[in-house]
Chain A
């Protein structure tokens, strides 16, 4: 498939974009949403008009794209402007899309972007963390070796892989150079998850369910043009994918807060609504008038509110450039989540001891109590967040780094842990 050859107009105003969209629609939209239609959208650049020309886009500004999207909506023609959908509609549009646009060569873009845009590529997974490389991700040891012409063989083990079972593709960070210092020897790949040599095993977690996986890679063949960026530039490429992930999570958190706000009828109602669950828990326990309970409740309410407001300020800051406030949100959320779930757990009293899926009150509280650790551990633990804030925001000196500038093969490696999955993939 050609790379958006029909799209040459750039910097169209919203009005011009609207006219262009209308003209294109009258030539191409026959009222049938099928494979041909989706392919036409992709080749024409209307599937993702804000993406660059030559990368399946038309190089339109967001306002122009919105104007065009309105034309497609009015015509009842689906599948246009899918690249601007909210993060959680299809996170891979951002995680894979942004990364390919920033660093992908033509071949790898041609292999993945059209399918992403037609909606046939919807499930991916992240193959970053390893048993020996969690907080210290750059010390990962999965090995990608160039064997003969144009092919790598990948060997290693990844962990905490969400959605591994359903994934069509995986974003893989692997080591290609063991003589370079740890950050410099990494390469970023996008691999097909139906490749031979990939074994996925679910990890049972604290709640008893299995939402994460271990992924074992044994002599997995990966074509050389599946590299995104250049070999050895993996760490830099990863930052694009990580930024997309964090932005998406931030947007989701703000979305939730705004959803709550919308439920209120006045400013005051908005403030009140933020702790409805805690108020309800205290009332059910008959303790809403207990001064100690009230004090604790209002503390948590304050943390929730202020964290939302900090998020709002961060969002405004991000629009103007790099934001230091954005680094604080996840750390503050840990306090909010642990304190809130602890409060609800205690308010329920001994009812909390029962863990029964059919119990509409205690069960969600117990699960929330455990899931609060996802925020304080996942996506960079609280301790790592504090390092990032201390070093990147406050400009404090970095601590002693014994592996700085040392060839990776000489570095003291992260200790391997035993496999944690309970069963093999059925």
Chain B
């Protein structure tokens, strides 16, 4: 359990916070969420190379820095606080965890260095609490072919690598699909070798690289790179996190780990994803509370700051209780993930459920405190509300996670 952070960890937090204040300020978030790709390449590269955040928790032998989940958690709490737009969660939390958990040396060596240096954007088609996954894998002439559909996959529209759980005749497996999209960084070519399109030929196709979406969330255009691989960007309530549907028609893929052992890998990935999202939600909840508290201090009505009214003072105090409780849940889960504790299977869904609800509460009350202003596009209260609401369901609704807690406690 994290009770306090080390000097180095505190410094990491300050560094990340300063960085995000500059690169993911409100204006940056609004600009980025209105772009076609939904992320800012310059910010992405700076995070990966300048700060080394992508590789923070990836072992050194795979091009990372070998820190652990506590450090990654610090980063996620800050990205949540700043509503960072982009595939950081998809790539660094989902995909890197899937690779690391798979035990597949070849896959780790092939993809993790690219994820660590930011040249590879990766994601996992997680079945988030529902039965949306409908992909079958078939072995044809010694190569796996995937057919079917994975709905609402985070950042699939920009991913170079998509890890898809699929059913084989012998069981569930994880499969890596290289989408064939040109990488913006040089690292991809080295990391993904011959499969990456080379030079100018790939780069001329930059329009097709991302599925376009209008600033107001008009329906996305379908994108197609690898034969049979198609992503359709969906307009989302939360514009700071992109979701795309993936359609697969006999797409070539490589098994990641044992092609029949996917169930167990996926369960661990889902737990780690839940931990990552929980810290991110804690950061978002804190930001929403901070915003509400600031307004309570400066908004004057009836001749006094409205924070002087007990109705609102108590409301803010209650939200703080929720936020700090969420933080305790998230931090416990973080250290369970860091230590590979046997409590992780309980701590992860517990944190997921609690932090989801806490963030929704904080974001909701922030709007209420702001009154009519809270209902406008102009102030960022709605951005936090939408992020809170989308995060609440991203990996399955809280009741689903609580059911897992009960199950794993053996109740």
Q: Are A206 and B237 in contact (CB under 8 A)?
A: no
Interface pair B375/A206, CB less than 8 Å apart:
yes
Determine the distance from Cα of A376 to Cα of B129 in the docked complex, in whole angstroms.
Answer: 31
Q: Is the CB of A401 within 8 A of B303?
A: yes
Which chain A positions have C-beta within 8 A of B152? 350, 353-354
Residues of A within 8 A of B168 (CB): none
**A148 beta carbon closer than 8 Å to chain B:** no
Mask: chain B, 309-320; 1 = CB below 8 Å from A; 0 = not: 101100000000
Chain B interface mostly helix, strand, loop or mixed?
mixed
Residues of B near A136 (CB, < 8 A) are 301-303
User: Which of chain A's residues 175-220 have a Cβ closer than 8 Å to chain B?
Assistant: 203-206, 208, 212
Complexed CA–CA distance, A349 and B398 (Å): 10
**Chain B residues within 8 Å of A139, by CB:** 301-303
Q: Which residues on the A side are within 8 Å of B410 (C-beta)?
A: none
Question: Is the Cβ of A414 less than 8 Å from the Cβ of B300?
Answer: yes
Question: Is B393 a contact partner of A350 (Cβ separation < 8 A)?
Answer: yes
User: Which of these, A135, A205, A378, A413, contacts B376 with CB under 8 Å?
Assistant: A205
Query: Is B235 on the interface with A (CB-CB < 8 A)?
Result: yes
Interface window among A74-82, A88-96, A380-388: A380-388
The stretch of B4-12, B79-87, B377-385 in contact with A is: B377-385
Q: Which residues of A contact B234 (CB under 8 A)?
A: 353-354, 356
Q: How many residues of B contact A (CB 8 A)?
A: 49
A residues 404-426 near B (Cβ < 8 Å) are 406, 411-415, 417-418, 420, 422
Contact partners of A358 in chain B: CB under 8 A: 219
A205, A352, A383, A403: the one within 8 Å of B303 (CB): A403
Residues from chain A with Cβ under 8 Å of B367 in the complex = 206, 373, 377
Q: Does A152 contact B (CB under 8 A)?
A: no
Q: In the complex, are the beta carbons of A349 and B393 less than 8 A apart?
A: yes
Q: Closest residue to B241 on the A side, CB-wise?
A: A353
Q: Is the CB of B394 within 8 A of A420?
A: no
Please, which residue of chain B has its CB at the minimum distance from the CB of A386? B311
Task: Determine whether the beta carbon of A415 is less than 8 Å from that of B377.
Answer: no
Question: Does A1 sit within 8 A of B, measured CB to CB?
Answer: no
Residues of B within 8 A of A (CB): 128-130, 132, 151-152, 216-217, 219, 234-238, 243, 298-304, 306, 309, 311-312, 364, 367-368, 371-379, 382, 385, 389-390, 392-394, 396-399
Measuring CB to CB, which residues of chain A are less than 8 angstroms from any residue of chain B? 129, 132-136, 139, 159-160, 203-206, 208, 212, 292-293, 338, 345-346, 349-350, 352-356, 358, 366, 369-370, 373-374, 376-378, 381-383, 386-387, 399, 401-403, 406, 411-415, 417-418, 420, 422
Since A135-B301, A356-B234, A417-B373 are in contact, a sample of 17 more A-B pairs with Cβ atoms closer than 8 Å, ordered by chain A residue number, is A135-B371, A212-B372, A346-B398, A349-B130, A350-B152, A350-B393, A352-B389, A355-B236, A369-B389, A370-B382, A370-B385, A381-B371, A383-B309, A414-B300, A415-B299, A420-B373, A422-B377
